[in-house]
Amino acid sequence: MEAEEELAPGVTARFGAVVVERAAPELIACCLDARAGFVWFDRRSRMCLATPCPRAVARRLAVVPVDFGFRPVRGVAQVPILEPDGSLFFSGYHARTRTFVATDPLELPERPTRADAGAALEAILAPFAGYGLEDPERRACTACAVLTAASRPSVPTTPVILVDATTIGAGKSKYARAIATIASGSGFVILAEGHSPDEMEKRLYAVLMRVPAAFILDNLQRSLASSTLESLITEGTTNIRIFGTLDTVDVEACSTVIVTANNSILRTDMLRRVLPVRLVVLNEQPERRRFDFDPVDVAHKRRREILAAAFTVLR
């Protein structure tokens, strides 16, 4: 059973998901207390006595962190960053994308041949072998979805990956989780729609404030219409109000966004902001089908190979 943690109502993170927490003054004070000693001069005893971090110091660090040499972080990437010259950045802080990268080096061919590209394509598609990839459109869209997940932190914006099925039991959730596994490794965030559009926006806020490597809006029932998502996809940033306050923050995100639905309906503004993957099942009882492999398991076990193949194609 997959271990999960509830980040907020309707928002769960799989075990291993790397998320970013906003540096609240209280958190900053705790970190400073653990790493530094603060004292105050007691006039009565004429001695310097230990004291917790002054809240004024923590608040100032929270408001203007750049003034103290702290670097802005757009997110944590668990795939390499592709540089304009074709090289890959694997570990540490990447200044151009303002991303902290935490991944292992990949072995790629120095001068890929056509045969290398063909083998790479087959590796990219391996987790999705049971999804009717003999259909050229579905095959192309699946390859694009994997390449989008692999390259997401390297570029300012990418479309939402919409996994749209003709009926229940088509395997769209497994498909989406396989894509999210490629993007994030062992952990990603799953978001339930909620009972109203306002509730969905609140849940999106909770997810975007944590900037996971990938998140899935699972089993969408209503029309896909979200100003927050549209802004994020188009501009790479969105404005979010902090819960319980009147304060707002601009949030940049490098998350791979995946939506699953059955016969989805999109708002007009969203139509050009999605990469649609259509799963067509002709079986009258698709939920009774049995497969000898698990797409998520294949994606997890062969992730390094898939990423190497993806960057072979992207370079």
Q: How confident is the model over 206-252, as pLDDT tens digits?
A: 888 888 889 999 988 888 878 888 888 888 888 777 766 667 777 78
Q: How confident is the model over 262-293, as pLDDT tens digits?
A: 988 888 788 888 999 999 887 777 777 777 78
Hunting for tokens 């902290």 — which residue is that?
Answer: 100
Q: Give φ, ψ of 86 to 5 degrees.
A: 95, -5
CATH number corresponding to 4-20+104-314:
3.40.50.300
Structure tokens at 162: 């919409």
Mean of pLDDT values over 118-143: 93
> CA 48: distance to chain centroid?
48
State the pTM of this model: 0.84
Residue 69 CB neighbour total at 10 angstroms: 6
Identify which of 236, 215, 295 has the alpha carbon closest to the alpha carbon of residue 97: 236
Domain ranges of the chain: 4-20+104-314, 23-70
Residue 296 CB neighbour total at 10 angstroms: 20
* Secondary structure of residue 131 in the 3-state scheme: coil
Name the packing angle between helices 303-314 and 172-184 (round to 10°).
80
Q: How confident is the model over 302-314, as pLDDT tens digits?
A: 999 999 999 999 9
